Amino acid sequence: MKSQLYQLSATELSQLLQSKKTSSEEVTRSFIENTERLEGKLHSFISYDPEYTLSQARASDQRRREGKVRGPLDGIPVSIKDIISEKDQPLTCGSRFMKDYRSPYDATVIEKLKAQGAVLWGRLNLDEFAMGSSTEHSAFQITHNPWDLASVPGGSSGGCGAAIAAQQTPFALGSDTGGSIRQPAAFCGICGLKPTYGRVSRYGLTAFASSLDQIGPMAKCVEDTALLFQAIAGYDESDSTSLSEEIPHYTQALQASPSPKRIGIPKEYFPQGMDTEVREAVESAIAFYQKQGHEIVEVTLPHTEYAIAVYYIVATAEASSNLARFDGIRYTHRSPHSNAIDVYFRSRSEGFGEEVKRRIMLGTYVLSSGYYEAQYIRAQKVRTLIRQDFLKAFETVDVLLTPTSPTTAFKIGAKIEDPLAMYLNDIYTVSANLAGIPGISIPCGFSKKNLPIGLQVLGQFFQEAELLQLAYVFESSHDFHVRSAPLS
């Protein structure tokens, strides 16, 4: 049993702990040992500290002996994308700028996990400052996909996706600015949820694009995703964008059979030339829901064609502003020059990678005099139209079904020299961030090369319970989520 603990879901591990058939220390050691066995090939983690993690596990076991269990997460390892602050732990954001930085405080989501007894296990790799779709833009290493080591795991939460798929961790917290939870989930054959904007506190998340960023759960199955989401959702007065909405019991909602839904299929998400295997897998999933008694309705989201352009104007503008704080003066990397201007320019040129520089320059350009109204303001107006497209669609349907990504995982290096090709990989995910609606990705099939294919379910504001429920219905009738990646 002990050697197989890392193969179990978080829900199963929680049940074993509650019945005292194992201990948190045994569970944690199992994941540590599996990580050390695979990490040399995967590079999922930027850093981890086994002794720090085991000390948390031992504390959980002591609470359990004393009858002071804090909840279903008590004693379960949770890994963290290295862009979320954890006190006294590294916070690199995948950047040379931050390589020696340690956070002085806990993000609100970390406070919540600690309060519930979760065992925080390692810092996961990402594209620098979450800017990328492949985890090739990390300053430290390239993460490999456990289903094919020559392929990317997606991005920017690629370390999260790879670590879960390879059973190095039961689940993880990622962040999603334009698909950075859902696309790696699709590429790695796991589940990833981007909550409604404002549903989860962003306090302690290093900002990329503040009006788009959202922290969310990633896990090997829907039930685990709901379990972790339950722990982090809720209002936070420390986050000015946090919204006070009632939090349903997400794990209980999974057990109820969903009432018949009107499911919308956006015709813009199924263009000519779409990858045939992705189309077939998603259409098979649509047919499944129809057989379950749900009504399938074609809808239109007419401004979808502008989503990528709008996203890369709004996101880069906000990135330019947010990353201005990294100046080499106050903290993090500082170039060894005495002249303040040289320190500023050289620190930024030395500390930031090429993709981050590209986005800062683009954002600065669209915010500059003479281009602000022509580019940024116009993009914000079209963003409103994209949001209205969704609102209009949701007047007639309950949810939308789409592919998560137009392709399966691509080869490492295939798109790194072509930024536009890389950006277009987010074509099915960015709109949800622009509109602020929730979305979930679950595996719905595999290609002939045994690479996972993702199904995306998009819903109305704060209807994550409905998305989880529909995803669970599909998952319960298929075995895609229980298949093991070859490396695992």
Question: Nearest-5° angle of CA 132, CA 133, CA 136?
Answer: 70
Torsions phi, psi for 364 (to 5 deg): -65, -40
- Residue 81 falls in the annotated catalytic set: yes
- Residue 257 falls in the annotated catalytic set: no
CA distance 197 to 386: 15
Containing 299, the helix (H) or strand (E) segment is strand 295-299
Catalytic residue among 23, 30, 81, 134: 81
Taking the CB of residue 39, how many other CB atoms lie within 10 A of it?
16
CA distance 458 to 468: 10
CA distance 392 to 414: 38
Q: Please, what's the b/e burial string for 154-169 (b: 16 or more CB within 10 A of its CB; e: otherwise)? A: bbbbbbbbbbbbbbbb
Q: Which of 480, 410, 484 is closest to 191 using CA atoms? A: 480
CA distance 475 to 207: 33
Catalytic residue among 44, 95, 103, 180: 180
Residue type at 112? K
Residues 6+ apart with CB under 8 A from 211: 197, 241, 314, 318
Please state, in angstroms and as integers, the Cα–Cα distance from residue 179 to each residue in 61, 287, 434, following that order: 37, 25, 11
CA distance 24 to 216: 24
Place of tokens 């209807």: 463
- Residue 447 falls in the annotated catalytic set: no
Q: DSSP letter at 294?
A: P
Catalytic residue among 156, 405, 441, 488: 156
| C-alpha dihedral sign at 270, 276, 282, 285 | positive
Q: Which two tokens stand for residue 145?
A: 């996909």
Question: Nearest-5° angle of CA 430, CA 206, CA 120?
Answer: 105
Listing DSSP states for 410-472 in one string gives: PBTTSSTT-HHHHHHTTTTTHHHHHHT--EEEEEEEE-TTS-EEEEEEEESTT-HHHHHHHHH
Q: What are the residue numbers of the active site?
A: 81, 156, 180
